[in-house]
Amino acid sequence: MKAALCLFIAIAFINVYSYSQDTFSIVAVDTITGEVGSAGASCLQDSDITGGVLIISDVHPGKGVIHTQAWYININQINARNRMNAGDSPQQIIDWLIVNDAQGDPSKRQYGIVDMDGNGNPRTAAYTGASADTNKNHILGPNYSIQGNTLLSNDILDSMEAGFLNTKGSLAHKLMAALQGANVPGADWRCLGEGVSSQSAFCRVAVPGDTMGTYCMDLIVVETPWGAEPIDSVQLLFDEYMANSPPIALFGYSATVLTAYFNNVSVNSNRWAWDFGDGSSSNLQNPSHVYDSSGTFLVCLTAYDDCVSNTVCASVQVSSVGLNENTKYEKVKVFPNPGSGMYTLTLDVELLGCTISVYDEAGKRVHKLVKISSRDVLLDLSPFAKGVYDVKINGDNIEISKTVIYQ
């Protein structure tokens, strides 16, 4: 079903366009990288209005994102943009829009707004009017807002939130996962008869320094043939985008008395984001982090080349007493393990000058590195078959064997 288009002429001769713009979407910010972005879809496409669902999205690089949906009014969106540019918080913007609705009836509107304040802290707000089309709801998180109307059920929004929260990596990956959470026939119930979630979709991210309308990643599917799923089409664009000279995220670490010292050896990257596994984060290239207690923490590093990114996660152990690297086995650490072909070997200093040999499951040596001069060694198994490899490190009067899994 196509959305209805009505044209109203205001007394002041300003065109106020109103669309039954029934949509599910997410807006979010990343306070570590300063990225802002959004994703959404609707049973409205380019033949209904130029850009389809994209009309809802108003991205402000380095600041925040506004989504204006349900019974969309372009003047309301312009006013919201002006309020954000004036420095209003998301809640202040929504409060203003409710009082100053372009048609005097905010009950049909739906808004999702997120930004970062002057100290880089996230702020979110949302509004769902009582007269917006059912099913309808919104979900607020610390750095995101998810909203929808004309939904098959409100479970669609819950699934989007789960995709966003459970995905490691960049804001782009999290937004794409949220969009996939709504990849259900009839997510916008008007498209149920076509067997798709929607008819147009998008996923976009802006980095600090981008300008309005020109974003680091801007993936848009404005129209699809009958029965074609636009979220799948956006996913294909996303995968192609991320495969364009991607960075390789790699790191090693050493630890002593609750402090982990991280060594970033990522390839083809110009910025980084760390998740230390305890709720803390950093955007430094080679950070250190003090944990509150002993334990094993899942640490994730996302390496970026502009908006293209790659994430690696590995378990990091810290102890409240002495050094972690006090056994022969711990003189060599491999990250990630299991992995997808690229690994970092972090060696104890006494192993400098050693030889590293790699043996396949048949016991055949397939790779050899000699006279190692750095504590952090990049081991590339990608030319070989996936499987289990025995990596032997031979130094003066010492041999250490590590099992490496390529999956």
Distance, in Å, from the CA atom of 403 to the CA atom of 256, rounded to the nearest integer, reads 24
Region 335-344 average pLDDT:
88
Q: Is the pLDDT of residue 6 over 50?
A: no
Q: Do residues 117 and 89 make contact, with C-beta atoms less than 8 angstroms apart?
A: yes
Peptide bond into 142 cis (omega under 30): no
Q: Is the pLDDT of residue 298 over 70?
A: yes
Q: What is the pLDDT of residues 159-175, one digit of tens each?
A: 999 999 999 999 999 99
Domains and CATH numbers, the chain: 5-242 (3.60.20.10), 245-324 (2.60.40.10), 338-407 (2.60.40.10)
Q: Do residues 109 and 97 make contact, with C-beta atoms less than 8 angstroms apart?
A: yes
Q: What is the pLDDT of residues 102-113, one digit of tens each?
A: 999 999 999 999
Q: Is the pLDDT of residue 332 over 70?
A: yes
Q: What is the pLDDT of residues 313-323, one digit of tens each?
A: 888 888 876 54
| Angle, alpha carbons 89-95-100 (nearest 5°) | 120
Q: Do residues 44 and 149 make contact, with C-beta atoms less than 8 angstroms apart?
A: no
Range picked from 48-57, 118-127, 261-270, 391-400 for highest mean pLDDT: 118-127
Q: Which of 66, 108, 105 is nearest to 84 (CA)?
A: 66
Q: Do residues 72 and 54 make contact, with C-beta atoms less than 8 angstroms apart?
A: no
- pLDDT value of position 70: 92
Phi-psi map region of 302: left, alpha, beta (phi>0 left; psi -120 to 50 alpha): beta
Q: Is the pLDDT of residue 286 over 60?
A: yes
Distance, in Å, from the CA atom of 300 to the CA atom of 116, rounded to the nearest integer, reads 23
Phi-psi map region of 231: left, alpha, beta (phi>0 left; psi -120 to 50 alpha): alpha
What SS3 state is found at 135? Answer: coil
Q: How many helices (H) and strands (E) does the chain have?
A: 5, 26
Q: What is the pLDDT of residues 358-375, one digit of tens each?
A: 998 888 999 999 999 999
**CA distances for 126 relative to 80, 90, 329, angstroms:** 13, 8, 53
Q: What is the pLDDT of residues 27-72, one digit of tens each?
A: 999 999 999 999 999 998 877 777 789 999 999 999 999 999 999 8
> In which band, very low, low, confident or very high, does the pLDDT at 356 lie, cut at 50, 70 and 90?
very high
Distance, in Å, from the CA atom of 215 to the CA atom of 257, rounded to the nearest integer, reads 43
- pLDDT value of position 248: 86
Phi, psi of 159 (to 5 degrees): -65, -40
Phi, psi of 367 (to 5 degrees): -160, 145
- Mean pLDDT for the chain overall: 89
Q: What is the pLDDT of residues 193-222, one digit of tens each?
A: 999 999 999 999 999 999 998 999 999 999
For residues 302-339, b (16+ Cβ closer than 10 Å) or e, as one string? bbbbbbbbbbbbbebebbeeeebbeeeeebbbbbbbeb
> In which band, very low, low, confident or very high, does the pLDDT at 75 lie, cut at 50, 70 and 90?
very high
Q: What is the pLDDT of residues 222-273, one digit of tens each?
A: 999 999 999 999 999 999 999 887 898 888 887 778 888 898 888 889 999 9
Phi-psi map region of 379: left, alpha, beta (phi>0 left; psi -120 to 50 alpha): beta
Distance, in Å, from the CA atom of 330 to the CA atom of 148, rounded to the nearest integer, reads 51
